[in-house]
């Protein structure tokens, strides 16, 4: 996925890591700000019992703002 466009919104630069639910990537947004993009594995994301966990994580991460 490196150096590819994701949804025409993010240019993926490199993979940061992976875990049980998917992968994370360092990317540039359309304003050339560095961001972290989390890609969830499809097979686990469709489990409705896990959706509240994903939603809570997304809300929590949306409050982070790290210059670095």
Give me the tens of pLDDT residue by residue for the chain, a chain 68 residues long.
555 666 678 899 999 999 877 888 999 998 998 888 888 776 655 667 777 887 888 888 888 877 65
Q: Is the pTM of this model over 0.85?
A: no
Burial class (CB within 10 angstroms; exposed 0-12, middle 13-18, buried 19+) of 25: buried
Joined tokens for residue 57? 């994580």
Nearest to 14 by CA among 65, 23, 52, 22: 23
Residue 36 CB burial class (10 angstroms; 0-12, 13-18, ≥19): middle
Q: Are 41 and 14 in contact (CB under 8 A)?
A: no
């Amino acid at each position: 996925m490196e150096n590819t466009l994701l949804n025409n919104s993010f240019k993926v630069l490199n993979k940061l890591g992976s875990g049980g639910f998917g992968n994370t990537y360092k990317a540039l947004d359309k304003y050339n700000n560095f961001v972290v993009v989390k890609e969830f594995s499809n097979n686990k994301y469709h489990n409705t019992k896990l959706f509240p966990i994903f939603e809570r994580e997304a809300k929590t991460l949306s409050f982070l703002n790290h210059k670095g």
